[in-house]
Structure 1
Amino acid sequence: MSRNSTDRTQTKRPLPDWAEPGAYQVAPGVHRIPLPLPSDALVAVNVYVLESDDGLVLIDGGWAITAARDCLEESLRAIGHHPRDIMTFLVTHSHRDHYTQAVALRREFRRARIVLGVGERASLSLVARGKPPRGTQARQLREAGADDLALAWSDRETGARDDLMEWELPDEWLEGRRQIVVGNRTLDAIPTPGHTRGHFVFADHAAGILFAGDHVLPTITPSIGYEGVPAQLPLGDYLHSLADVRALPDLELLPAHGGVGHRSHARIDELIHHHDSRLALCLRVVRASGTTAREVAAQISWTRHDLHLDELGKMDSGLAVLETMAHLDVLAARGAIGRSTIDGVHHYALPPAGPALPM
């Protein structure tokens, strides 16, 4: 289960090495700058600075908080730049830890352009109408048979309304695979739906590096479909996207969270194995007794510490149930199990009941 979105804590922990502030060269003309997150379990998000004669291009922007703004300016100053030198943000997806500081800096300097995958349009438009995305996840939790968690997430949504002004639409929508020229380098922009519908990764084949956003992370599995308007089968999309990136040459992984030094092929193989194992585990549980996603999630372990669902916080418990439902829906789409809906709650059982869901 991903910890991309987890319960906040006031406990301050030592920063992992990869999250220490600074500007770290990862390739000629490319620096990694970790920016702090506000009491988030992930601690920091990596933004990547690409230098060119026309100004700076940043892969992702960070979370729009004062600490991240100050850290970015100080880190850029260390390599002879300033935030006003940023000409373009290539944002991998619209989660706030990647997107909102790009919006804030565009307002501040009135020059930086924001480029984002077109699959994010529906969710961003929802937020622009004053509807925080957690309302969608609360509805999904009710469909999963987790009314208590849905209520907890609805309460969190109420507290999220004050920051809706952080969200604006980008200047350009990315649609389909294309090449983007940044100075003397060419980026291969590849749509990778799954984590969100509009997620993109950017491959610099000449330099042998992959700006992977949250699509491929070195030590955790990304959450799937955590957005205001999720896809019908986000895990199916994610597995297809993993296969698309696995078909590329083996590249050095430059993730949004975590350190560098990992290879894309090896990590993608681990992620595919993880999801294959979870699919098999969910299938065994359903074969033993037809049940809801909440009930399946309670019968399997979570995190590397093999925790029970009840040992997780409310946010992580919700993510666990949603991830379980995503796996069950893939099994239903493959015809391995059936899914029926009773009083708004999805139930999974053998033998398959009704037509398979579309992949």
Structure 2
Amino acid sequence: MLDDDPDGDWTSAGLFRCAPDVYRIPLPLPQDGLRAVNVYAVPDGDGWTLIDSGWALAESRELLAAALGQLGAGLGDVRRFLVTHIHRDHYTQAVTLRREFGSRVAVGRGEQVGLEEVNRSARDPFKVHRVRLLRAGASALVEQIERREMDAGDLSVWEMPDEWIEDGAEIAVGEQRVLTAVETPGHTRGHVVFADDTAGLLFAGDHVLPRITPSIGFEPNPSVSPLTDFLTSLQLIRSRKDAVLLPAHGAVGMRVHERVDALLEHHGERLDATLAAVREGRSTGLAVAEALPWTRHRRRLPDMDTFNAMLAVMETLAHLDVLVERGAVTITLQDGVAHYTS
């Protein structure tokens, strides 16, 4: 076990003490640019509560078991998982370990809609994304997706949780720690963060990340305006007591308010750039996405792989929808494609 090093490689496997009685366990995300997800272990009576769980993969399970072993515990000592949202790298390993060891799984109430959609029989898992891409004028990208026959994987790992977490719920973890659940929709409809106000910590999931901004609305049944939800949730977290950021992806230690301010500024700049592209005559979501740089490396849309290009176009639509809400642009539909003008 090591004390956490904010300047080190946060993806390195192991067990890292990041606060008194709080341990960070990075678990692998193969074929994912994020490379790892942070799971946090907190003592809870004679067992452990884990915040998020990792992706249901053999390698992830082995590394989680090894890290818990350094704490003198095993997978069977995990009493419950408090899950920030239902993306596979946060939720699915909790489900598979529950089957074997009987641990409890809890997730935000707002994720019920998404989980019910995932578990609906005869469901096309990519239908909602195809519809949005076609609305953006990205028919060629839809064809790429269909040629790849993108596999949704084993949907049974999205079984229903044992408990729905309500907004504002106070969750006792052991005798001394109380976590307050705060609904922060945007990344997903039911995303929650867990605030330990006494210790000055925020288990932020994907809502506040130290180096990137999360994808918006990539879920089975997104809300009408996920970016509006996300920006409102950021402002809510900014209004709360400041804390040390414990993110799902990235190094620990940044102050929450500092990073929230940067994220709000980023999306303000992104909205300005999106509006400028519309004013230049780019009228569709695809055309606007092609005009914008992507990621910290400022990549262009044609240089991105199919999955990330899909995320980029859908995020562009989310920004365009906010501009429509604010009256900065108007929208018309032509043959199922949305066209935006200022």
Query: Shorter-chain TM-score category?
Result: over 0.9
Determine the structure 1 residue equivalent to 2:106: 115
Local SS of the residue matching 2:234: helix
Local SS of the residue matching 2:202: strand
TM-score (ref. length: structure 2): 0.94
CA distance in structure 1 between the aligned counterparts of 2:247 and 2:15, rounded to whole angstroms:
15
Determine the structure 1 residue equivalent to 2:134: 142
Determine the structure 1 residue equivalent to 2:165: 174
Tell me, yes or no, if structure 1 residue 342 matches structure 2 residue 326: no
CA distance in structure 2 between the aligned counterparts of 1:133 and 1:116, rounded to whole angstroms:
21
Determine the structure 2 residue equivalent to 1:202: 194
Residue pair 2:282, 2:288 contacting (<8 A) in 1 also: no
Determine the structure 2 residue equivalent to 1:318: 310
Q: What does 1:226-237 correspond to in 2, within 5 Å?
A: 226-237=218-229
Greater CA drift, 325-334 or 23-32: 23-32
Greater CA drift, 265-274 or 18-27: 18-27
Of the candidates 101, 104, 107, which is equivalent to residue 96 of structure 2?
104
**AA at the equivalent of 2:78:** I
Tell me, yes or no, if structure 1 residue 299 matches structure 2 residue 291: yes
Per the TM alignment, residue 134 of structure 1 is displaced from its structure 2 partner at its CA by 2.9
Tell me, yes or no, if structure 1 residue 247 matches structure 2 residue 239: yes
Tell me, yes or no, if structure 1 residue 87 matches structure 2 residue 79: yes
Deviation string for 1:188-236 (max 9, x for gaps)? 1000000000000001011111000000001111000000100000000
Q: What does 1:144-293 correspond to in 2, within 5 Å?
A: 144-156=136-148, 158-183=149-174, 184-289=176-281, 291-293=283-285
Q: What does 1:51-70 correspond to in 2, within 5 Å?
A: 51-70=43-62
Residue pair 1:91, 1:116 contacting (<8 A) in 2 also: yes
**AA at the equivalent of 1:164:** L
Residue pair 2:186, 2:228 contacting (<8 A) in 1 also: yes
Local SS of the residue matching 2:10: helix
Per the TM alignment, residue 290 of structure 1 is displaced from its structure 2 partner at its CA by 5.2
Change over 3 Å in CA distance of 1:88–1:294 after alignment to 2: same
**AA at the equivalent of 2:173:** V
Q: Percent identity?
A: 50
Per the TM alignment, residue 321 of structure 1 is displaced from its structure 2 partner at its CA by 0.9
Structure 1: segments with no counterpart, 5+ residues = 1-15, 351-359
CA distance in structure 2 between the aligned counterparts of 1:194 and 1:347, rounded to whole angstroms:
24
Of the candidates 312, 319, 326, which is equivalent to residue 327 of structure 1?
319
CA distance in structure 2 between the aligned counterparts of 1:154 and 1:197, rounded to whole angstroms:
26
Aligned-residue CA RMSD in angstroms?
A: 1.4
Deviation string for 1:53-101 (max 9, x for gaps)? 1421110010000000000000000111111011111000000000000
CA distance in structure 1 between the aligned counterparts of 2:219 and 2:41, rounded to whole angstroms:
26
CA distance in structure 2 between the aligned counterparts of 1:315 and 1:48, rounded to whole angstroms:
28
Residue pair 1:132, 1:228 contacting (<8 A) in 2 also: no
Change over 3 Å in CA distance of 1:155–1:32 after alignment to 2: farther
Residue pair 1:298, 1:308 contacting (<8 A) in 2 also: yes
Per the TM alignment, residue 272 of structure 1 is displaced from its structure 2 partner at its CA by 0.4
Determine the structure 2 residue equivalent to 1:129: 120
